[in-house]
Amino acid sequence: MPSAELKHTFRIAAPPEEVFAHLAEPSHYVGLSPLLVAVRDVRRIGETVHYTAVEHFRFLGVLRHDNIIDVTLVAVSDGLPQSAEISGEVRSPGRVHMSYRFTIDHHEDGCVVTDTLHLRTPPGLLRFAASQAGAVQQARARVLTARLVRPA
């Protein structure tokens, strides 16, 4: 299957523990992606969380499609307060698969987050999936930064 890797690095003026806690909770992803509108059926087994997410897509500005995806999230906090990692897999209808990884590293004024996505799609879908995923990465960085900003 065709594949692509997308990487986005950004800074947040919040400690790694706070960013990790936010990204380790599935319900916090609602609104973190402009497509994600619901999280349900959350099942926890140790550091691994399985859940179902609902994305709203609009085609041609008119047709709405609810994309039901299966998500696995693994949150590893062993390196805190210096670093942590959250990773997982997303399986979407249409055989679109995405693995993801957030690395969270301490920085003098908060932390640096590296958001890495690896997409695998059937032929003909990679460009669309990569453009959607890239837009979500950019939005996620903005929303996460705004959510975790500390008042002066």
Report pTM: 0.89
Lowest mean pLDDT among 10-14, 46-50, 128-132, 136-140: 128-132
- Residues 54-89 pLDDT 10s: 988 776 677 788 889 999 999 999 999 999 999 999
Is 117 strand, coil or helix? strand
- Residues 105-142 pLDDT 10s: 999 989 999 999 999 998 888 898 899 899 989 999 99
Dist CA 116 CA 7 (whole Å): 4
Closest CA to 102 of 12, 3, 4, 2: 12
Dist CA 123 CA 65 (whole Å): 21
